[in-house]
Structure 1
Amino acid sequence: DQRAHGTRLHLLGVTRTEHLEEFYRLGVASFDSTSPLRQAFKDAHDNYYFNGQTYTAIRIPQVEGNTRLQQRIASGQISQNQARKLETACLQAMRLFDAGRRSLSKVIEVLLEYEDLYAHDVKRSHAKDYERTLTDAPWRQCACDICKHLKYHVIIFRGAERNRRRGFHNIWSLYHHMRGSGTGIPEFTVGQHAAGLKERACRTN
């Protein structure tokens, strides 16, 4: 079937936002999507949007909030004290790295040591993903209020509130990428449930 001349299409529930230019060519004038929000905390790799690219967030789970860690602690495979020390070491390493006082290799080393503790049964390492994220440090270049306020905290995969704020950054980033990429699509919206979260977007935890 062919659409009538001048017909404007709206897409509901878009998940492949990388195909925006093709959507526009096919007559899409607007769309809504929760993908930028959900990918911040649901995707295994594409958690942070910037300038048309995606980055993997740095995973530093809370000891008390990670099921795998709690199971290993309960079974006696690792000690809770050991897990907490590595969690703290990772957070400190990120803080020092952002201040220019810790090398990239040292940060990745401690992140992977902690990863081996909470995800020892996962074969794929995040080493290369983390190296790219930390080398590019996209949060330093982002102009959105969330990145300006949270700085490197926005890239840390940790806690529901922090992860949602990264999702709101993704929405902002996608919108501005659309406006500057020449797709011509003037509008997109996110799910209604996101609206109630915006007022909490700049609190840290």
Structure 2
Amino acid sequence: MNTIYKPADEAGIAAAADIISAGGVAVFPTDTVYGVGSLAWDEQVVAKLYAAKGRDFSKPIPVLVSSSGAVDQVANLELLPLAMRPLAELLMQAFWPGGLTIVLPRDGGLPDRLTAGGATVGVRMPNHPITLALLDRCGGALAATSANRSGNPSPTNAATARAELDGLVDIILDGGPTPGGVESTVI
């Protein structure tokens, strides 16, 4: 596969969104580390994401959302115990957008492969304009994980992501170094 390498400007974001919407896999900057993502609802596309990452299918992949309103696309808060719903909403209000991934009951439309057959999905709203623009152009949610081969350090710049995934993904957006530098916290 020939990987396209573009700056993360409007044209690059549009190209990445088109590629993702057509079933491709893209690398992009986030507020934590560089991410690699795809559509979340197509089992075959999710399999391509796992292959690019070199990730074992027993490990679920989280989902990035463009807003707290987009959570309903991938999670079903009604399945939380009644006492936990306000806590989940409070955490979203307090820490989103940002580096907090919240594990929630999954929506039934997500493929089993994405959640490793589990009943939950990790959901996060990033605080990065490039990621949010890409999410908006792709319908508000993407399956996404760090843009490195499994077991390797997470990249904080496009050059490192390219060294990890060149030829394994369809496009890499270069948005400069990430501001966070560490993965998100998962609760």
TM-score calculated relative to the size of structure 1: 0.30
Determine which structure has the larger strand proportion and give its number: 2
Q: TM-score, normalised by structure 2?
A: 0.32
Larger-gyration structure (1/2): 1
